[in-house]
A and B are shown apart, each in its own frame.
Chain A
């Protein structure tokens, strides 16, 4: 993990991320309305040529900051995730950085929901805060468990520590918690209450035109990043027979991404007034127990 990362990867990173996020959006369109491969492009063009709505007494600085920070957070989080064996930014504490960037998305959604000066988006923001309280601790314990198993917070080393046995296999609870929180990170599917239709679209209800495009592109990118991080954390990273490392990274990322996309619309949305109890009474103890077991195995 000591070789320097070539400069071209800085340019390639957003492109690869955009490609993956696009295919996630296309998969979603295909599964839900049969829109096909051009559906996200069509929606993108529609939103680019669309006028922005002027909202009364909206704090547009906050809204724009919220909307723009969503894709930015996704790109910054992706920077520390290795594709093959190289990450754009080979950070010793990559797992912590990834976690921090993902929390930026909370601010994004809250700012966008608060800033438009409208009741439904505001309530969408409230829901996000509750959701964060419910999923973030189990999520962090899941990340820590993987890091504990490898004795490192470096994505590359976590992946390298899984020679022979994937963490997903011997830390199933942590993996399951991670997958659930991956949905929550992107406000997706069953964890999409902050953007739910019962609030006319929640935090995003008033967004239109380019704002809407950037917001939902950023959300797709976040979902992609959440799927991509599962690969070095739990699925053995780039290791695999026959194919080169980068190809294995992509194949595994696609598999997780397809699962996350498929889940949308297959389950009712989880309301936090119900889920909160399960998160604190079941998920946190389960994640802690998992960490304990892993800790004991590592020590012996």
Chain B
């Protein structure tokens, strides 16, 4: 074995993984995240920081294009793992193993690099989420930069200052971001001036993962209340984990995800409610978190009513912090009932009435809610609503401000 192979093998030991999930791939994403935790693996925040790209679920056309852009943006040595929505735990395990082997395969990596060299560097004609800056609508004179990119246009900002206008898409592939959601932001500095909402769908239709028990019960299948409440608890913990990660509190986010996986595991261990209670106390007790999340993304009753908001965000009107506390309370209540063998009736899913697409209202109110927010606050606000694009797969759906 040559020195190069040995070095590559050593370096590939714990590769940082960038996870891209398609709507419909939630189950697979959860398996991947729990498998990465078992391996003490790391997730990367950007393609440039990653060595492995894991695609969960089957992306539709627009999402596939974004995934290709991410794959293009990854430096070699790199490996790609595609796992469809039905992937088993063993398949996830094998996929990541294969990626690690591929990373230290000198011949394969050299072939990949040679092929990329031939294709040449990225050019602005293609679609690229991260690096493209296009001209702002305030300035149509369009002075072309010598690189072929249009310079950013300028417009008055909220204080009447002339500032560059950047058009930056958030999503569909972004860490701690609802799968398939695309927000076309118009930014000045780091302030959001306008938002266009779009969705990039998955190729597989299928049943929304978080609503599945309720939908199965509605279809006449026998589902217990306990099973549904486990799913509700896990759904809220998944959302809370995302929000905590966006808030930069890594330790708490990781604990939320661990609790989520415990709640989903066939027999939830007996100490789960106690462990969750400790976690909830810690999160609710954090003064720093209260300080950082209070007062942003405020939704009052009237605003919620106007957009037909239902489910937890409507039950807990207020700011990002109120919605986080709402999830935590909801999780606590759900965890008490995980052993309930009664048959499931009703349609009150984790995000509101299942079948009525509660996430549609969330998407509809985003442009108004995010306008004028700082980028960081906008991300926290989206995370605190955590719309589920899987609910919308039935209908092509676009909202423009």
Chain A positions near chain B (C-beta within 8 angstroms):
32-35, 39, 42, 45-46, 49-57, 117-120, 123, 126-127, 190, 192-193, 196-201, 204-209, 212, 264-271, 273-274
What chain A residues lie within 8 Å of B48 (beta carbons)?
53, 201, 205-208, 212
Q: Is the CB of B123 within 8 A of A46?
A: no
Most buried by A among B8, B113, B145, B376: B376
Q: Is the CB of B40 within 8 A of A198?
A: no
Q: Is the CB of A33 within 8 A of B42?
A: yes
Q: Is the CB of A34 within 8 A of B124?
A: no
What chain A residues lie within 8 Å of B147 (beta carbons)?
56-57
Q: Which stretch (B73-81, B197-205, B311-319, B385-393) binds chain A?
A: B73-81
With A49-B77, A123-B190, A268-B289 already in contact, the answer to whether A193 and B133 are too (CB < 8 A) is no
Q: Name the distance in Å between B124's Cβ and chain A's nearest Cβ.
A: 6
What chain B residues lie within 8 Å of A46 (beta carbons)?
11-12, 15, 51
Q: Is the CB of B245 within 8 A of A197?
A: yes
Q: Is the CB of A199 within 8 A of B10?
A: no
Q: Name the distance in Å between B213's Cβ and chain A's nearest Cβ.
A: 31
Q: Name the distance in Å between A180's Cβ and chain B's nearest Cβ.
A: 12
Known: A56-B149, A271-B376. 5 other contacts (CB 8 A): A56-B131, A119-B168, A197-B248, A206-B130, A274-B292
Cα A33 to Cα B40 in complex, Å, equals 5
Cα A249 to Cα B249 in complex, Å, equals 32
Chain B positions near chain A (C-beta within 8 angstroms):
7-8, 10-15, 40-42, 45-46, 48-49, 51, 73-77, 113, 121-124, 128, 130-131, 133, 145, 147, 149, 166, 168, 174-176, 187, 189-190, 244-252, 286, 288-289, 291-292, 374-377, 379-380
Q: Is the CB of B45 within 8 A of A54?
A: no
User: What are 8 contact pairs spanning A and B, CB under 8 A?
Assistant: A42-B13, A53-B48, A57-B147, A57-B149, A119-B130, A120-B130, A198-B379, A271-B377
What chain B residues lie within 8 Å of A212 (beta carbons)?
48-49
Q: Is the CB of A265 within 8 A of B45?
A: no
Residue of B nearest to A216 (CB): B49
Q: Name the distance in Å between A118's Cβ and chain B's nearest Cβ.
A: 5
Q: Is the CB of A270 within 8 A of B292?
A: yes
Cα A83 to Cα B87 in complex, Å, equals 56
What chain B residues lie within 8 Å of A118 (beta carbons)?
130-131
Q: Is the CB of B113 within 8 A of A54?
A: no
Residue of A nearest to B293 (CB): A268
Cα A192 to Cα B128 in complex, Å, equals 27
Q: Is the CB of B374 within 8 A of A273?
A: yes
Residue of A nearest to B122 (CB): A56
Q: Name the distance in Å between A260's Cβ and chain B's nearest Cβ.
A: 15
Q: Is the CB of B175 within 8 A of A126?
A: no
Q: Is the CB of A42 within 8 A of B10?
A: yes
Cα A209 to Cα B123 in complex, Å, equals 21
Looking at chain B's contact residues, the main secondary structure is loop
What chain A residues lie within 8 Å of B175 (beta carbons)?
197, 200
What chain B residues lie within 8 Å of A199 (beta carbons)?
375
What chain A residues lie within 8 Å of B8 (beta carbons)?
49
Q: Is the CB of B292 within 8 A of A268?
A: yes
Most buried by A among B46, B74, B124, B175: B46
Cα A34 to Cα B75 in complex, Å, equals 25
Q: Name the distance in Å between B249's Cβ and chain A's nearest Cβ.
A: 4
Cα A268 to Cα B131 in complex, Å, equals 28
What chain B residues lie within 8 Å of A206 (beta carbons)?
46, 48, 130-131
With A33-B41, A208-B48, A271-B376 already in contact, the answer to whether A54 and B121 are too (CB < 8 A) is yes
With A51-B76, A198-B246 already in contact, the answer to whether A265 and B251 are too (CB < 8 A) is yes
Cα A46 to Cα B51 in complex, Å, equals 9
Cα A192 to Cα B149 in complex, Å, equals 31
What chain B residues lie within 8 Å of A55 (beta carbons)?
131
Q: Is the CB of B122 within 8 A of A197?
A: no
Q: Is the CB of A49 within 8 A of B46?
A: no
What chain B residues lie within 8 Å of A51 (beta carbons)?
75-77, 113
What chain B residues lie within 8 Å of A39 (beta carbons)?
14
Q: Is the CB of B46 within 8 A of A198?
A: no
Q: Is the CB of A201 within 8 A of B49?
A: yes
What chain B residues lie within 8 Å of A57 (beta carbons)?
145, 147, 149
What chain A residues lie within 8 Å of B12 (beta carbons)?
46
What chain B residues lie within 8 Å of A204 (beta carbons)?
49
Q: Name the distance in Å between A137's Cβ and chain B's nearest Cβ.
A: 20
Q: Is the CB of A268 within 8 A of B15?
A: no
Q: Name the distance in Å between B47's Cβ and chain A's nearest Cβ.
A: 8
With A198-B246, A201-B46, A270-B292 already in contact, the answer to whether A56 and B75 are too (CB < 8 A) is no
Cα A270 to Cα B286 in complex, Å, equals 13
Cα A39 to Cα B15 in complex, Å, equals 11
Q: Name the distance in Å between B152's Cβ and chain A's nearest Cβ.
A: 10
Which of B7, B11, B166, B248 has a CB less than 8 Å from the CB of A196?
A: B248
Q: Name the distance in Å between B114's Cβ and chain A's nearest Cβ.
A: 12
Residue of B nearest to A196 (CB): B248
What chain A residues lie within 8 Å of B76 (beta carbons)?
50-51
Cα A43 to Cα B251 in complex, Å, equals 21
With A51-B75, A205-B48 already in contact, the answer to whether A274 and B291 are too (CB < 8 A) is yes
Residue of A nearest to B189 (CB): A126
